Structure 1
Amino acid sequence: MITRRSLLGAAAATPLLSLPSIAQNNTKVLRYVPSSNLTILDPVFTPAAVSITHGYCVFDTLYGMDANLQPVPQMAAGHTVSDDGLTWEITLRDGLMFHDGEPVRAQDCAASLDRWSRRDGFGQALGAATESFSAKDDKTILIKLTRPFGRLLHAIGKPHSSPAMIMPERLAQTDISEQVTEMIGSGPFKWVADEYVSGDRMVYEKFEGYVPRSEPAAWTSGGKVVNFDRVIWQVIPDPATAAAAIQAGEVDWVASVLPDLAPLMEASPDVDLFRQDPFGLVSVMRFNHLQAPFDNVDIRRAVMKAVNQTPYMQAVTASDANRQECLSSFPCGLPGVNELGEELINSLDIEGAKEALKAAGYNGERVVILNPTDIASIHPHGLITADILTKIGMNVDLQDTDWGTVVQRRVSKEPVDNGGWSIAHTNWPAISIDNPATNATTRGLGEKGWWGWFKDEEMEETVASWLSAQSEDEAQALFDKAHARALDQVPTVPLGQTFQDGAVRKDLTGLLQASVSLFWNVDRA
């Protein structure tokens, strides 16, 4: 019988992977195993972590996030703001060039910001307060607002869930309903399109024309110094195979390690565990608000009444140190977040949920749960939810598939009988949903927002007021108001916070903490 332990034990003796060979020309290669397959290349089109990781290789941002989680200039040299707060001028630093050899111009940045502001939740909040994104000249971006927006740099510098990545104007003119597929950015790596094999590997080459900043690298800011000629992503869906591969030295970095394999990684003389994101992941159950039965808020409330976070978190990690109950629709432990859901979350009231479901008028509609089999931190959640919904009397159809298919299918707005869906689970880096504007799981943008398409004008009015708050006390009161509204309307059911470790070969140095894997600053000792 082949077990994970026996497979790991045999790793050193038997090559597990058929990896592409590199010619003996001193090419320095970093081999990385992503947590899932890369199916969507456009990092503005989707907030999926694997697409954002890819995006940071190819593209750059005007502002990055530093170690104190504050926005600082990245592509920008700096900015000025008019006395009335309505006109922002952002100057580009010298030496910026796209991978096709063209210089980065303010026109490219303005078009990129405009497209991003139509797709991303925080971007849409900025867009609603913006008269125009334009270019004063080739080096100066001009942003004209209709009202002050003090968190503008936080918006365009946010590190996750569709960051405001800059691309050439011709690509940025792509309609927001369509994906950009030509990967031309100004980031530290070039995308090698002809070596891309979905489900197998992705290849990036060092961009020799990239000019790093002089400051030390931190999160998504500072000097993005590349020390490898090529970065090769090798997709390995089975966690045990990935763990064996890094022990055997066939790969250098595995993005996520299954908790029951972590002790074996810790015991390896050549491998270290690496906690990339110190703020953890927030797991959520997301409803499709366009289709029955979850277009009915009372049915959503009935489901939340039956949920308990503990089994969801235990299915991801058995370690108490790697999980945290969070009775909140916002990540616990971050500024401004109060646990307001103590009486609503974790009630585990199956009988009460049954009665609430009947009272809400549930009529036996089929509930399609999209469940990825190749993401260890998400797959168990579909099984648990299916069990809960069956117990309270719902007609459940659990559909197992790979993550790439889930990512593509969950954007469908069709009924379940025509390829649609009812529930999908995912997790978010806590830092990416830390306030009312960035939290896509609670925003009420409807069909312009995150998949699931929760629409709530009251929520959006509260978010706009929070963005315009004149004092910290006013901002906190509005934060709590948005939070209470989310708990009442249940756009998403929070399932707790967990912390995941990756694995790296011990000879790697300079790894950075962030919400996704970053490949600059990394070197081999």
Structure 2
Amino acid sequence: MITRRTLLGSAAALPMLAMPSVLRAQGAPGGTLRYVPSSNLTILDPVFTPAAVSITHGYCVFDTLYGVDSDLKPQPQMAAGHTVSDDGLTWEITLRDGLTFHDGEPVRAQDCAASLDRWSQRDAFGQALRAATEAFEAKDDKTVRIRLTRPFGPLLEAIGKPHSSPAMIMPERLASQPIAEQVTEMVGSGPFRFLADEYVSGDRVVYEKFQDYVPRSGPASWTSGGKVVHFDRLIWQIIPDEATKVAAIQAGEVDWISTVLPDLVPIIAAAPGVELFQTDPFGLMTVMRFNHLQPPFNNPEIRRAVMMAVNQLPYLQSITASDDERQECRAMFPCGMPGVEELGSDMMSPPHTLDEARKMLADAGYDGERVVILNPTDIASIHPHGLVTADLLTQLGMNVDLQDTDWGTVVQRRVSKEPVENGGWSIAHTNWPAISIANPATNATTRGIGQGGWWGWFEDAETERLVEAWLSATDPAEQQRLFNEAHQRALEMVPVVPLGQVFRTGAIRSDLQGALHGSVDMFWNVHRT
């Protein structure tokens, strides 16, 4: 069995590497907050990709009409409030005063309407809203109007969701760009300005406090409330080596690291001046994603054979150190979330023999097609999964091509729809915050949108019919029945193979107070004592 320790060795063997003096953290009030993200930031557009590092970046630069509090309830953010017509078909959202973009232009309803229109073409929940929408438009400069063709109860939950991908507001001139193109000019109305001239991919990302940002009154709570910034500058230092991250925060050369390798947790726990924290109380669901456009995984019977052969425990053990950090979950939705039942227990529970899976592959017509697995070497929570999957598929008799690369390359390459002979791919692994895939509408991993959906491009009209029915249902019993039908359909079609849930640990210097930890790290409210 492949485990974290056989992959990386023991924590005691890892060196404490010295950091260059340029990373020395500044302790002066209003100075610099230094942060180490989980990976390099290669895609700046947080609507174009659901990658967590891009969403974290997005919350620095952009804001949303609605956010969520710590109970995941929608709360006005850029909005002052809203009204809904008696028939439920017209929503009008009024913007609060003082909203300004980083280029000095005021935020208008036209900007918000264009941003919602663009987001609704890309995001799974947004696409569900778009299917029920006649128009996103501006009634006037201060009022966004959404005209629906049918009632859509969770509208605020859709435009206020905190992850993958949030409905972030940008100027109309940027939001009007084709959805197939990334927005690269980072002009938002959020609490930080992105400093493009100091951005060096693979090295650092730099922001400064946006002096014209007007926070809401009241305390900050997740992505809602008063986003008060206490630092003049925020620097993300890209440090791929896990031991180097730990050495840096021990030495006070960085203030905050997003994730700590499980084997290094004891070192941090013993370090003076550093505290550990759980990054997301709802955890992450980790999945194996198939490319549904190309053989062999355009065949659902082959996908089912692979899912039947998977044992979640080796995957979980490869990236966690204890039972407290992992949870087996034989479901297409995160266990523990409202409405989620573990419907895949019979199908996915070991023991299943490899001989059974080999026979399923043969019966399905697998004919030796090359299986290209994209495997990031610089993401400790994903890299081992490529190794486990390659080992499993090799044992099944598949023609495996494991391709190691950095995460930035994986993010860029996994959007390719080409055959493997032309640089395409077959399998990639990733993690999703549980809150972002908790129901049939938001779960991009199971949505059957096809080429307009999440990379891998699973297409299934029946799945989409069930999603629409679930969104329209008002009776709780009927909602649960439709949820289970959508879940069962996903288990039959296997858009992904669920690999279980994990709970990450991060680290922060003890002299920082007020840090907020949700599905991403947030840099408002935190201050140095």
In structure 2, which of residues 80, 83, 89 is the aligned counterpart of residue 86 of structure 1?
Answer: 89
Between the aligned partners of 2:88 and 2:327, the Cα distance in structure 1 is 40
In the TM superposition, 1:260-275 aligns within 5 A as 260-275=263-278
After TM superposition, give the deviation of residue 5 of structure 1 in Å: 3.9
Distance 2:266 2:26 in 1: 35
How big is each residue's C-alpha offset from its partner over 1:224-262, in whole Å with a ceiling of 9 and x where there is no partner? Answer: 000000000000001010011000100000000000000
1:419 aligns with 423
Does residue 1:75 correspond to 2:109, yes or no?
Answer: no
Q: Which amino acid in the other structure matches residue 408 of structure 1?
A: Q
Closer, same or farther: CA 198–327 of 1 in aligned 2, 3 Å? same
Structure-1 residue corresponding to 2:43: 40
The structural deviation recorded for 1:349 is 2.7
Structure 1 residue ranges (4+ consecutive) displaced by more than 3 angstroms after TM superposition: 2-8, 20-27
The one-letter code of the counterpart of 1:489 is M
| 2:57 paired residue among 44, 54, 57 | 54
1:96 — aligned with what? 99
Distance 1:3 1:297, change over 3 A: closer
Instruction: Tell me if structure 1 keeps the 8 A contact 2:288–2:427.
Output: yes
Distance 1:430 1:77 in 2: 29
Task: Give the Cα separation in 1 of the matches to 2:77 and 2:468.
Answer: 27
Residues 218 and 513 of structure 1 are in contact (CA less than 8 Å); yes or no, is this contact kept in structure 2?
A: no
Counterpart code for 1:91? T
Matched residues, number = 520
The correspondence for 1:367, drawn from 367, 371, 374, is 371
Match of 2:237 among 215, 234, 239: 234
Alignment-mate amino acid for residue 81 of structure 1 = V
Secondary structure at 2:318 match in 1:
helix
Residue 240 of structure 1 aligns to a residue in which SS?
helix
Q: Which moved more, 1:337-346 or 1:42-51?
A: 337-346
The equivalent of 1:400 in structure 2 is: 404
Counterpart-to-counterpart distance in 2, 1:327 and 1:488: 13
- What is the rounded CA distance, in whole Å, between the counterparts of 1:420 and 1:524 in structure 2? 47
Secondary structure of 2:308 counterpart: helix
Task: For 1:447 and 1:193, locate their aligned partners in 2 and report how far apart those are by CA, in whole Å.
Answer: 32
2:163 aligned residue: 160
Q: Which amino acid aligns with 1:70?
A: K
Q: Structure 2 residue aligned with 1:293, among 293, 296, 303? A: 296
Which of residues 434, 438, 442 is equivalent to 1:434?
438
Is 2:254 the partner of 1:251?
Answer: yes
Shift of residue 3 of structure 1? 8.5
- Secondary structure at the aligned position of 1:28 is classed as strand
Distance across 2 between alignment mates of 1:25 and 1:515: 29
SS of the aligned residue for 2:485 comes to helix
2:55, 2:447 → 1: CA distance?
A: 20
* Structure 1 match to 2:483: 479
Instruction: Report the equivalent of 2:154.
Output: 151
Consecutive unaligned residues in structure 2, runs of 5 or more: 1-8
1:146–1:275 Cα change, 3 Å: same
Summarize the alignment of residues 121-520 of structure 1 with structure 2, pairs less than 5 Å apart.
121-347=124-350, 348-520=352-524
Shift of 1:17: 2.9
Residue type at the aligned position of 1:288: N
Structure 1: which amino acid aligns with 2:251? Answer: A
AA aligned opposite 1:257: V
Matched position secondary structure for 1:144: strand
- Give the letter aligned to residue 521 of structure 1: N
Task: Supply the distance in 2 between the matched residues of 1:106 and 1:257 (Cα, whole angstroms).
Answer: 41
Q: What's the Cα RMSD here?
A: 1.5
The alpha carbon displacement at 1:346 in A equals: 3.3
Distance 1:196 1:250 in 2: 19
Map of 1:30 onto structure 2: 33
Letter in 1 for 2:188: G
Write the distance in 1 (CA, Å) between the matches of 2:165 and 2:203.
24
Distance 1:301 1:21 in 2: 51
Amino acid of the residue matched to residue 512 of structure 2?
Answer: L
User: 1: distance between equivalents of 2:10 and 2:494?
Assistant: 41
The 3 A distance-change label for structure 1 pair 190 and 439 is same
TM-score of the superposition, structure 2-length normalised?
0.96
Q: Deviations over 1:466-495 (max 9, x none)?
A: 111121111111111110000000000000
Letter of the 1:287 partner, please give it: F
Secondary structure in 2 matching 1:84: coil
Give 1:519 shift: 0.2
Q: Compute the displacement of 1:19 (Å).
A: 2.5
SS in 2 for 1:496: strand
Q: Is the CA contact (8 Å cut-off) linking 1:17 and 1:245 kept in structure 2?
A: no
Question: Matched residues in 1 for 2:517 and 2:490: separation?
Answer: 30
Alpha-carbon shift at residue 511 of structure 1 (Å): 1.0
Partner deviation per Cα, 1:395-422 (whole Å, 9 max, x = no partner): 0000000000000000000000000000
- 2:22 aligned partner, one-letter code: L
> What corresponds to 2:3 in structure 1?
none
Shift of residue 24 of structure 1?
A: 11
- Once the 2 structures are TM-superposed, how far is the Cα of residue 499 of structure 1 from its aligned partner? 0.4
How far does the alpha carbon of each residue in 1:281-318 deviate from its partner, in whole angstroms, 9 at most, with x for none? 10000000000000000000010111000000000102
Render the CA deviation track for 1:422-456: whole Å, top value 9, x for unaligned. Answer: 00000001011011011000000000000000000
Contact residue 11 and residue 263 of structure 2 kept, 8 A: no
Q: How far 1:274 moved relative to its partner?
A: 1.2
Conserved? CA contact 2:30–2:230, under 8 Å:
no
